[in-house]
A and B are shown apart, each in its own frame.
Chain A
Amino acid sequence: MATTTTPQDIEATVIENLVSFGADADAVTREATLDSIDVDSLDLVELTQVVEETYGIDLDEADFKKIKTVGDVVDLVVTRVQG
């Protein structure tokens, strides 16, 4: 599955899930900080579960240390999926 996954697919998945967690759809852009869209550590754990399941990757807490924006999350997942 990972071989046919594009960065755009991953971005769409990340955004779709953050919106389903209650974030404002218009505010969830690549540049938006997680704080600004009220995404907290519990949301990130849920998102991690989804992307691990969807893309067959493993993420751990340390991976999220430098994450500030939605784009950072997307890039992290893209790196792991392509790596």
Chain B
Amino acid sequence: MTLRDVVITGVGAVTPLGVGARTLHERWTAGNSGIQGGEAPCADFDPTEHMSAKQARRADRSTQLAIAAGNEALSDAGWADGLPYEPELIGCVLGTGIGGISTLETNHDQLRDTGPGSVSPLAVPLMMSNAGSAALSLQHGLRGPVFSVVSACAAGTHAIGTALRMIQHGEAEAVVTGAAEAPLTPLSRACFEKMGAISPTGVSRPFDARRDGFVMGEGSGVLVLEAGDAARARGARILGTVRGYGASGDAHHITAPHAEGRGGARAMQVALRDAGVDPDEVDYINAHGTSTQLNDRAETRALKTVFNGRAGVIPVSSTKSAIGHLLGAAGAVEAVATTLALRDRIAPPTIGWEEAEEGLDLDYVAGSSRPLEMSNGRPPVALSNSFGFGGHNASLCLEAA
């Protein structure tokens, strides 16, 4: 069975670098950071600029971010004036790590302070982890398969991989996919701090010897994926191709990655095999690169396993150096950033990387952006990695148009 190729025709993002996928790409590429005071909020985001008052009231902040990124992605794909396919053939798969946690916290406060009668009738639809895909489906009339996936910090990448499969197998002509997260709440902050995951110095410097944890951020990334033949037939502008996807489970520890990055390496190998891409043909790696001691060491080892001696010459950078860790949304935002980086043939920097550590000796794109160097004029190819608590690993193989 020949699988259909799957292309990216639209991207949208709301991130700590601002509203818009191009804003993310241009500001990260220029070396700007969206981190302030040890966190990475979407400070410029005003939900009322992107949706009606009713829609905003019926959406947790995580869903509001998804709605705004989704509107941008559909418009970018040229869908603003109507869907190009039968609604039944357009799916929506979004990821999230913890869904509507601010809604949960607010309603728990109400329950404790004034009793069960005072909780909101909107609490369930706001806090449910599938609220994001439901909201985009409702707003745009998407009637194909619609659901959300939950796999901690790998959710966005799993969502896009799932969307790829749906189109490859003819379940949908197009899928609106990505992820959203809004975890900057007192409970979530305290919980991640208590487990020692958050940087006490408030600095995100992936792969640097001084790294001491991640900086938590919020945001959303959404991509419109279409069957390549259908997109070409309608004359769509094509930004890139999702060449392959691989996923694996560590079965090692509830939070720590396997020290050798065994599961992460396997996810990358499966993605490359799925893409029919040789490791020698990979031009750029968008790393998970969280700025935690364990991830960055294990991921570096995994990259050495996958790319052998070539690991040291492939540019590897982490979007989290610019926007912190968006948890479940990270993989989706990073897929958006990688798509635009490949389009412009550029490797954005790992901002703040200065000090090498023994064993962490890859090319982390220190300092500033750099042009991607391809040997034979073919479109550049990248891997985008995501690894989640629970030992969930996922990797996407993306190619420029």
Q: Do A and B come from one complex?
A: yes
Question: Which residues 38-83 in A have Cβ within 8 Å of B in the complex?
Answer: 38, 42, 45-46, 49, 52
**How far is B53's CA from A22's CA once the two chains are assembled, in angstroms?**
5
**How far is B57's CA from A45's CA once the two chains are assembled, in angstroms?**
14
Instruction: Give the contacting residue for A38; candidates B54, B118, B121, B125; CB below 8 A.
Output: B54
Count class of interface residues, chain B: 10 to 19
The residues of B that contact A46 with a CB separation of less than 8 Å are 120-122
**How far is B118's CA from A52's CA once the two chains are assembled, in angstroms?**
10
Question: Is B375 in the interface zone, CB < 8 Å from A?
Answer: no
The residues of A that contact B125 with a CB separation of less than 8 Å are 42
Question: Is B2 in the interface zone, CB < 8 Å from A?
Answer: no
**How far is B54's CA from A49's CA once the two chains are assembled, in angstroms?**
18
The residues of B that contact A23 with a CB separation of less than 8 Å are 54
The residues of A that contact B376 with a CB separation of less than 8 Å are none
Q: Which secondary structure dominates chain B's binding surface? A: helix
When the two chains form their complex, are residues B121 and A21 in contact, meaning their CB atoms are under 8 A apart? no
Count class of interface residues, chain A: under 10
Question: Is B117 in the interface zone, CB < 8 Å from A?
Answer: yes
Closest partner residue, chain B, to A22 (CB atom):
B54
The residues of B that contact A22 with a CB separation of less than 8 Å are 52-57
The residues of A that contact B53 with a CB separation of less than 8 Å are 22
Mask: chain B, 39-73; 1 = CB below 8 Å from A; 0 = not: 00000000000001111111000000000000000
Closest partner residue, chain B, to A58 (CB atom):
B117
Closest partner residue, chain A, to B119 (CB atom):
A49
The residues of A that contact B54 with a CB separation of less than 8 Å are 21-23, 38
> Closest Cβ of chain B: how far from A16's Cβ, in Å?
13
> Closest Cβ of chain A: how far from B167's Cβ, in Å?
34
Mask: chain B, 89-117; 1 = CB below 8 Å from A; 0 = not: 00000000000000000000000000001
Closest partner residue, chain A, to B52 (CB atom):
A22
When the two chains form their complex, are residues B122 and A42 in contact, meaning their CB atoms are under 8 A apart? yes
Q: Provide a sorted-by-A list of 12 A–B residue pairs whose CB atoms are within 8 angstroms.
A: A22-B53, A22-B54, A22-B55, A22-B57, A23-B54, A38-B54, A42-B121, A42-B125, A46-B121, A49-B117, A49-B118, A52-B117
